[in-house]
Every structure is written in structure tokens, then in C-alpha cells.
Amino acid sequence: MMLWEFLLLLPPLLAGSSALDCMEMPGSLKQIDASNGQVFGVNTAGNVYTLYGDSWVQLPGSLKHVSVGPAGVWGVNKNNNIYKLVGGSWQQVTGLLKQIDAGGDVFVAGVSMNGGIYCLSRPAAVSVNNASTLPWVNIAGSLKYYSCGLWGCWGVNSADDIYFRFAVTPDSCAGSTWQNIPGKLSMIEVGTEGSVYGVNSAGQIYRRDGITKSNPIGTTWTQVASFLCKCKHVSYDLGLLWLINDQEKIMKCRI
């Protein structure tokens, strides 16, 4: 058993947290995203990878953030240029974002280098071509990370405050109003089926409980695991929680 597996199987250190059954994957990444059985990630050199079985396969191109979801595979590079994976190659589209999310219901969202919040509704996200100017919608507010799923979008700002965006739909991705959610997170990810996980500044992982269609903001935060090394990034899909720690090691955990 690897040291990481041993640490993650230890009893939780805090009340209300739950242990994870984890294994360390080969390679290293700084960011990871999973949806509908697909897993993509990027490393510090900007190399892009996707998982086939238990092996990472490098894709062409260079990105700093990648996202996979119902809207396809999207990414942004070090210059904040936006790309969509089309037919096995990256196609640049109009706009500039530092972080992007394809987890909405066939729509895309993200934040700019200045904290601006943007989304691209389903019709435009589906019919992307490099000759068209995409109708990115600017959403009121300022965030450093924004992620969408089945029942809405979640974001965190520069102060690690957490917000939920109501009335987001595939054809009207801007939604209506923000609600501040108690807690502090440095990044947040929404699973395709609506689950919400995040990491705080101390590297602790939290899950939002009580989320339903009628109550999309849920009820409480639960610490998922307590262990010695900090996490930097998290993504959830199909019963698997993917973690990147502060040493850029990759962990695959069963929930």
C-alpha cells in the first residue's frame, strides 16, 4: 500500500468528515476535470492529457486550464486565448478567459483575467466555428473561479466567498440573481449531475450536501477527508473524486 493510500484510509481527524479510499495515479498535474467518464488535465509545463484506462495520453497543444462536459472539451492557454477540441485538434474561438468550465447543460462559462464572469449559451457553444464571433454574455459580479452543473452555477471570488447563480438555463446562461453561501473556498467544481465539491485555502476538501432540483443551493458543507497533505484542485464524476495535491500528485478516490 502506498503512503497516500494509508493516510487517506486513516479515521477522520474532524467530526463530520469522511474518509476516502484513494490510490495515487502516475504522473503529475496542476489542474484536472472529469465528466461522463472522461478525465482531462494540464501540468505546469502546459501539456494537456486525457486518461485512457489508467494511462495518460498527451494531446497536442499547450493550455493552463482544461474542462470537459456536455459542451465538449474546452481550454484556455497562458495568453487567455480560448480553444475547443474539434475533431481531435484545438480550434481557437473568440474571447479571452483565464478559467473555463464546460460542465453546464451544453453551455460554457468562465472568468476573465480581471474577474469578469462570462457564459456562452447552448446554441453558440454547439455551433462553434473559427470564422464567427462568439456572443459571450457578461454576468454581473466578479469571481476568480466559476463552475456549472445540472441545477445552476457556483463561484468563488478573490476573498474566497462562495456564490450560487439562480435561473441559469442552457439557452439563457446568464441566470438571474446571486446568493452568498456561507463558507470559504479557494476553488469549486460542480459535477455534471449537480454535485458540488471545493477546496479551501488550507487544502481541505468539502462537499455541499442537500442539493436537489427544488433546493439547488443545498444545506451544509461536509469535510470529505482530513489528511496531512494539502489539496489544490478537485473534480468529481461517476463516484470518483479526482484530487491534485500541493505536490501536483494525482489521486483517484472512490466515494
User: How far from chain centre, in Å, is Cα 169?
Assistant: 18
Question: Is the CB of residue 115 less than 8 Å from the CB of residue 122?
Answer: no
The rounded mean pLDDT for the chain is: 90
Beta bridge partners of 93: 82
User: Could you report the per-residue pLDDT of 97-155, keeping only the tens digit for each?
Assistant: 999 999 999 999 999 999 999 999 999 998 876 557 899 999 999 999 999 998 999 99
Instruction: Tell me how far apart the alpha carbons of residues 29 and 56 are, in angstroms, rounded to a whole number.
Output: 11
pLDDT at 133: 87
Question: Is the CB of residue 22 less than 8 Å from the CB of residue 29?
Answer: no
Question: Is the CB of residue 42 less than 8 Å from the CB of residue 30?
Answer: yes
pLDDT at 198: 97
- For residue 213, the surrounding DSSP H or E stretch is none
pLDDT at 21: 87
Lowest model confidence (mean pLDDT) among 96-100, 193-197, 217-221: 193-197
Pick the CATH number of 3-8+24-254 from 2.130.10.30, 3.30.70.1450, 3.40.640.10, 3.30.70.370: 2.130.10.30
Average pLDDT of span 220-226: 86
pLDDT at 174: 96
Distances (CA, A) of 69 to 13, 65, 141, 162, 235: 34, 14, 24, 22, 12
Is the pLDDT at 2 greater than 60, yes or no? no
pLDDT at 3: 38
pLDDT at 132: 73
pTM: 0.90
Average pLDDT of span 75-91: 96
SS (H, E, C) 12-55: CCCCCCCCCEEEEEEEECCEEEEECCEEEEECCCCEEEEEECCE
User: Could you report the per-residue pLDDT of 3-50, keeping only the tens digit for each?
Assistant: 344 333 333 333 344 567 889 999 999 999 999 999 999 999 999 999
User: Could you report the per-residue pLDDT of 41-66, keeping only the tens digit for each?
Assistant: 999 999 999 999 889 999 999 999 99
Instruction: Tell me how far apart the alpha carbons of residues 233 and 186 are, in angstroms, rounded to a whole number.
Output: 9
Q: Sorting pLDDT into bands at 50, 70 and 90, what band is 168?
A: very high
